[in-house]
Amino acid sequence: FTLKDQSQKDVKLSDYRGKNVVLIFYPLDWSPVCSNEHACFVNDLKQFEKLNAQVLGLSVDSVWSHKAFADKMGIQYPLLADFQPRGSVAEKFGIFLPDKGITGRAIAIIDKTGKLAWFKDFGIPNVPDLKEVSQALEQVK
């Protein structure tokens, strides 16, 4: 896929070949649970970098919302706008909720070759356990 990030740069999943990708699907910028989730990733980003992983956030919000949210939260990793057509990338992972018009909350780990290595749907009201995600990432070769 290719999506725009908060800086309006095109980001392709294939740009990260040779590196593991932690793809964070989340419902919306600014919601309390999503804010807490991203605060956790911001605080633990070094842990993911040590594991040769690129963190990417993805929701149906616009690049403008992502820009303001990233600035407010101190997010340095790309936030991808799955905006038009709405939820098209999340739908490929089975995590788009068309009845609500939002992305569910899940994390996918894409390995260095571009294959899905781990996936977990956490449910909208739950902040993912980053220790669980780190452990899963450690298992990805």
Beta strand 102-103 pairing with 20-25: unpaired
Residue 15, H or E segment: none
**Angle formed by the axes of helices 32-50 and 63-73, to 10°?**
70
Whether 103 and 90 have beta carbons less than 8 Å apart is answered as yes
Is the model more confident about 81 or about 141?
81
State yes or no: pLDDT of 141 exceeds 80: no
Q: Is the pTM of the predicted complex or chain greater than 0.85?
A: yes
Active-site residue list: 34
Strands of 20-25's sheet, edge to edge? Answer: 10-12, 2-4, 79-81, 53-59, 20-25, 106-110, 116-121
Whether 62 and 86 have beta carbons less than 8 Å apart is answered as no
- The predicted-structure confidence for 36-76, as pLDDT tens digits, reads as follows 777 778 778 888 888 889 999 999 999 999 999 999 999 99
